Chains A and B, each alone.
Chain A
């Protein structure tokens, strides 16, 4: 007798390429507005998908303010070594940390990640940041906020609030990190759930 399996729930696309682009454009302007300009801005993306988002945001900020050099304000912040689940998860190889040449001391650092879920990655990122320097202000921008926070952490800039059940998976696919068979994809999909 074959076991009865649940019918797979098809993946739903919740944001397509144009949606992601519009959300990032809005976040870029929100960052500039909250900072009252582009002075002292540093965008730090959290690997893997936070970094390409940070690069895209920097380009949009540079497009809005010609005084900004996009590549000079972007960096990558690896949080692997600061996670609180290192001893309960399979080993994760660390990613690269690369700060802008100006450093982060007395800067306005905007942390950028693709999905805000439990908040534990951001907690790790705040710890990692402390070991690298002392920013004046730290803000948080995410493409998707799916709820289910486990820590008192809140995003300053959100691309889209996505109410989800914790049985579902939110997948962000970006052309920089997730090219499928050489096919560039930019989308956010929800998989699984009942």
Chain B
């Protein structure tokens, strides 16, 4: 692996490797010295063309825990607002000696462009591009699910996949890069994914995706699910009338108090409620659901740092001059 651009082309072996490495990284937060020297002297640039709090902070925390130097770059207040192109920005960063670029961009495919050209010779990590992919979010979701899933079965989480787990992803699939990344990754890991959304918020061609589609939240819950992932209603991308009113959306597609009670009624005592954040409380998720013991929202944020540490470590630690082959045994 040289770049982490999408989960669609991530192999099962690599996905499990990232999850296993994250498992080891998660123990660093509990140690006396919460820092590893693995990436000492490496420079990680956070290149954010779009607003973000948790992803940027999460990447920054991850890089710092691995002793890398972090440069934060926000498009606002930079030369980008003076009209500088992505190419010139990338070449500027390259000249400053960036070893990895964590990029979030409003245009789908911007990270691929950066990785495919010779503008910059650095590892590129996609931190969300347009409505395309957000691979580290999907990996941290899968990590959270794997911990839950293996805890239920009593197996060690290292090396495990998600075979047999039923996951419902509900809400604004049309604009959601999180949903796309999750569908590809969860398919690779062997989980059954159901997308639950109003027809107006499903993209064209969704029937070709490796998942099933439902238009009815209650019906999906009744069939039984092990994890429900609520997606944020993206107000900033709502440029047409996708649903009549927020109250109707909340009643039909949101995870409200009635549906929280329904989980108990249906005997789904181990079902978790996930949300990538930031949450619109009262719209796609009720406060009671967000704060219930089933909610994994804060665990997801915590696991995000471990996943991003794993990704940075696996992309940056090895000798990148030659393709990684089998592990050399050394004494």
Neighbour of A93 across the interface among B21, B35, B36, CB < 8 A: B21
Within 8 A of B (CB), among A69-109: 78, 80-82, 86-97
Q: Is the CB of B32 within 8 A of A133?
A: yes
Q: Is the CB of B324 within 8 A of A91?
A: yes
Q: Is the CB of B331 within 8 A of A90?
A: no
Neighbour of A81 across the interface among B17, B37, B330, B331, CB < 8 A: B37
Q: Is the CB of A91 within 8 A of B317?
A: yes
Question: Using a Cβ–Cβ cut-off of 8 Å, how many residues does chain A contribute to the interface with B?
Answer: 30
Bound: A120/B27 CA distance, A:
24
Chain B positions within 8 Å of A95 at CB level: 24
Which residue on chain A has the smallest CB distance to residue B20?
A93
Given contacts A81-B37, A116-B331, contact A91 B314 (CB under 8 A): yes
Q: Is the interface of B mostly helix, strand, loop or mixed?
A: loop
Which residue on chain A has the smallest CB distance to residue B42?
A87
Asked if A146 lies at the interface with its beta carbon under 8 angstroms from chain B, I say yes
Bound: A82/B331 CA distance, A:
15
Asked if B236 lies at the interface with its beta carbon under 8 angstroms from chain A, I say no
The digit string for B26-68, where 1 denotes a CB below 8 A from any CB of A, is 0100011101111000000000000000000000000000100
Q: Is the CB of A86 within 8 A of B317?
A: yes
Q: Is the CB of B331 within 8 A of A146?
A: yes
Q: Is the interface of A mostly helix, strand, loop or mixed?
A: loop
Within 8 A of B (CB), among A27-42: none
Chain B positions within 8 Å of A113 at CB level: 331
B160 shortest CB reach to chain A, Å: 15
Asked if B328 lies at the interface with its beta carbon under 8 angstroms from chain A, I say yes
Asked if B325 lies at the interface with its beta carbon under 8 angstroms from chain A, I say yes
Bound: A80/B31 CA distance, A:
16
Which residue on chain B has the smallest CB distance to residue A127?
B37
Q: Is the CB of B331 within 8 A of A115?
A: yes
Chain A positions within 8 Å of B325 at CB level: 90
The digit string for A147-181, where 1 denotes a CB below 8 A from any CB of B, is 00000000000000000000000100000000000
Asked if B240 lies at the interface with its beta carbon under 8 angstroms from chain A, I say no
Chain A positions within 8 Å of B326 at CB level: 90
Asked if B327 lies at the interface with its beta carbon under 8 angstroms from chain A, I say yes
Asked if B219 lies at the interface with its beta carbon under 8 angstroms from chain A, I say no
Bound: A51/B186 CA distance, A:
34
Interface centre among A89, A90, A113, A116 (most CB of B within 10 A): A90
Q: Is the CB of B31 within 8 A of A131?
A: yes
A119 shortest CB reach to chain B, Å: 10
Q: Is the CB of B314 within 8 A of A121?
A: no
Asked if B164 lies at the interface with its beta carbon under 8 angstroms from chain A, I say no
Neighbour of B17 across the interface among A80, A86, A87, A93, CB < 8 A: A93
Chain B positions within 8 Å of A115 at CB level: 331
Q: Is the CB of A117 within 8 A of B331?
A: yes
Chain B positions within 8 Å of A91 at CB level: 313-314, 317-318, 324
Neighbour of A131 across the interface among B21, B25, B32, B324, CB < 8 A: B32
Interface centre among A89, A113, A170 (most CB of B within 10 A): A89
Neighbour of A94 across the interface among B24, B33, B318, CB < 8 A: B24
Neighbour of B24 across the interface among A87, A96, A130, A170, CB < 8 A: A96
Bound: A92/B317 CA distance, A:
8
Bound: A89/B37 CA distance, A:
16
The digit string for A123-145, where 1 denotes a CB below 8 A from any CB of B, is 00001001111000000000000
Chain A positions within 8 Å of B25 at CB level: 94
Chain A positions within 8 Å of B207 at CB level: none
Which residue on chain A has the smallest CB distance to residue B66?
A81
Q: Is the CB of A81 within 8 A of B319?
A: no
Q: Is the CB of A90 within 8 A of B324?
A: yes
Bound: A130/B37 CA distance, A:
12
Q: Is the CB of A170 within 8 A of B318?
A: no
Which residue on chain A has the smallest CB distance to residue B24?
A94
The digit string for B109-144, where 1 denotes a CB below 8 A from any CB of A, is 000000000000000000000000000000000000
Bound: A93/B318 CA distance, A:
10
Q: Is the CB of B32 within 8 A of A82?
A: no
Bound: A84/B21 CA distance, A:
19
Q: Is the CB of B330 within 8 A of A121?
A: yes
Within 8 A of A (CB), among B1-23: 17, 20-21
Chain B positions within 8 Å of A127 at CB level: 37
Given contacts A95-B24, A97-B27, A132-B31, contact A87 B331 (CB under 8 A): no
Which residue on chain A has the smallest CB distance to residue B99?
A87
Show 10 A/B contacts (Cβ-Cβ < 8 Å), sorted by A.
Answer: A82-B36, A86-B38, A89-B319, A93-B20, A93-B21, A96-B158, A97-B24, A113-B331, A118-B331, A132-B32
7 A-B pairs with least C-beta separation? A91-B318, A115-B331, A131-B33, A117-B331, A90-B324, A81-B38, A81-B36
